[in-house]
Structure formats: C-alpha cells, structure tokens
Amino acid sequence: DVKVTQSSRYLVKRTGEKVFLECVQDMDHENMFWYRQDPGLGLRLIYFSYDVKMKEKGDIPEGYSVSREKKERFSLILESASTNQTSMYLCASRVTTGPEAFFGQGTRLTVV
Amino acid sequence: AQTVTQSQPEMSVQEAETVTLSCTYDTSESDYYLFWYKQPPSRQMILVIRQEAYKQQNATENRFSVNFQKAAKSFSLKISDSQLGDAAMYFCAYRLGGGADGLTFGKGTHLIIQP
C-alpha cells in the first residue's frame, strides 16, 4: 500500500514562529502536493513539486514556501506563522502517469 | 482557471436509501480526470471513484456510481443502499490530464446518514 506520512497530527505554534510541516511518501512518486483545508472552502493547493528541488506555486502560495531535497520528502514552511494560517494541512503524492493522488492524514495547525 | 462547484453543503439520507451528490465544473480542456473523494472524521482522504473525460461510460464502484454529463460539465455521485459508514464529507475534484498538476476541489458536501 502507498503510504504518505505527515510528521504531526496536531501542532500548536506561536505567532511569528518558523514552522516546518513534513511529508514523506514511500512509493517513489515524482509529484508531491501541499493543500490547505478550511471549512466551507474545501481544499486549496498551496505548492507542488514535480521533481527534486523543483517547485511550482499553487493557488494560495502567499506566506508559504516549500523544500524538496529528496524525492520522498516534501516540506511546507511557514516563515513567520500568523493566526490566519491556522488550518488543516494535507500532503499528497502521485506518479506523473497515474490519475490517483494519495493523501496523508493531515496536520491540524493552530497558531496562537 | 478551472472551477468545481458543489451546491449542496449538506445532505441527509435514511440508511438503505439512495442519495445523489451534485458537482459541476468548468474547463476548456478536453483531457482531464474527475474524482469523488470521501473524508470521514479520521480526516483521511479516500478515493471513492474516478472518471476519465474521454470515457463515455459512467464509472461504477460497487454501491457508488457517477452520472458524467460532459457537455453539461456535470459529475454527480450516486450512493445506493446508504450505510452508516458512508457518513463523511464528500469532495468533487478535477485534474488536468497528464503532467504534474494538482487537484481542484469543490467546497464539499457533508453527508449525514440517518439510522
């Protein structure tokens, strides 16, 4: 089974802190994604990566950056966390030639 | 830009009955995929069913089937013989065929199953 693992289920951080959300997949997928989920808004794409060290902005990249130093790992970085970044964050991966994306279990981030 | 619209924030159905969740989308592309994902309280996104745009036949997975109307850009999900375990958020999603693009999601429909 494909496994996408997010490092934390719940995270509480203070305003202004630098926050790292980590995601690891074990199926050698080329493409990895970070989404943000808010009630009434669905999931929105923040950033994605189609190869090591490659990244592309999604629909809502402001306030975020990403890092992909190894194929299996994709990190989402909040350089200076703000309360409006309190949300659920979901990581996903898939092969380029495959239709299906596989999701991690999500990290619920609260910024206080 | 592609958009996905789910017009039903919440639906309720009696156990064992049939329910249909609506989804419309907007795209100018001809090669794309459509998906329905289920998200139970555990938060794990589970793929329910997918449809390739080039296929005329509607996808079916056990009790789940879709009504794909390409010209109308409509992609509804029918759940037959509803079970308590079907209670969840359901998201309709679109992705361009090929490449590394991500999914565009609707806002979701909260499905309640009444025993």
Tokens of B35: 């998906």
Architecture of the CATH domain A4-111: Sandwich (2.60)
Give the C-alpha separation, B52 to B32, whole Å: 6
Closest to B40 (Cα-Cα) out of B86, B85, B79, B88: B88
- The pLDDT assigned to B2 comes to 84
Q: CB contacts < 8 Å between A and B, how many?
A: 58
Q: What is the pLDDT of residues A42-72, one digit of tens each?
A: 999 999 999 999 999 999 999 999 999 999 9
Average pLDDT over every residue of B45-55: 95
Q: How many domains does chain B have?
A: 1
Domain coordinates in residue numbering, chain A: 4-111
Greatest C-alpha distance within chain A? 41
The domain that holds B21 is classified in CATH as 2.60.40.10
Q: Is B12 on the interface with A (CB under 8 A)?
A: no
Q: What is the pLDDT of residue B98?
A: 77
Q: Inspect the interface and report whether the beta carbons of A96 and B100 lie closer than 8 Å.
A: yes
- Can you give the pLDDT at residue B95? 94
pLDDT mean over A23-30: 94
* Chain B nearest-CA residue for A45: B102
pLDDT band at A11 (very low <50, low <70, confident <90, very high): very high
* B1, pLDDT greater than 80: no
Q: How many CB atoms lie within 10 A of CB A13?
A: 16
Does the CB of A103 have a partner CB in chain B at under 8 Å?
Answer: yes
pLDDT recorded at residue B101: 87
Chain B residues with CB under 8 Å of A50 CB are 99-100
Instruction: Express each pLDDT in A91-107 by its tens digit.
Output: 999 988 888 899 999 99
pLDDT digits (tens, 9 = 90+) for B17-49: 999 999 999 999 999 999 999 999 999 999 999
Contacts of A40 in chain B (CB under 8 A): 9, 107
Tokens of residue B87, six digits: 């209670």
